[in-house]
Structure 1
């Protein structure tokens, strides 16, 4: 089963500075970071490239309220997810 994910759908981002991390791996084996992007749209090309080059056919695609996207293809996964940056003031304040 293949689903199309719309990278232009409005999404709710966490407050504060955010980066988008593109990663891939195998279920139960962990994964690797492919890239870190300042904006979700900047990751679109590499996300598409990685999705098209997965070893198996995509069998599940999900977009969450925060705009993150997860694909699974057999035992492989691909994810584009927002992560808040930890800043010096946050560390000094113990946040």
Structure 2
């Protein structure tokens, strides 16, 4: 139960940005930005999805037997950015 309260304590009020060291937010978001191809709007959407899923799980809002792994995978897939290796939308190199 402690982890639940810690998560809420760190995420349920406005962020005191003026108290953060310079550049901290940019460093913190960098891995997520890389994962979504540098698109800040997509990074924010991914964060909102993950935050919402965590809160729903913590609050016991999913019905018993819900496939949470499936829900997480569906969300991750929805935000997936094709990579050069997996992008099949262009012409096939010979």
Normalised by the length of structure 2, the TM-score is: 0.32
For the pair shown, the structure with the greater C-alpha radius of gyration is: 2
| Greater share of helix | 2
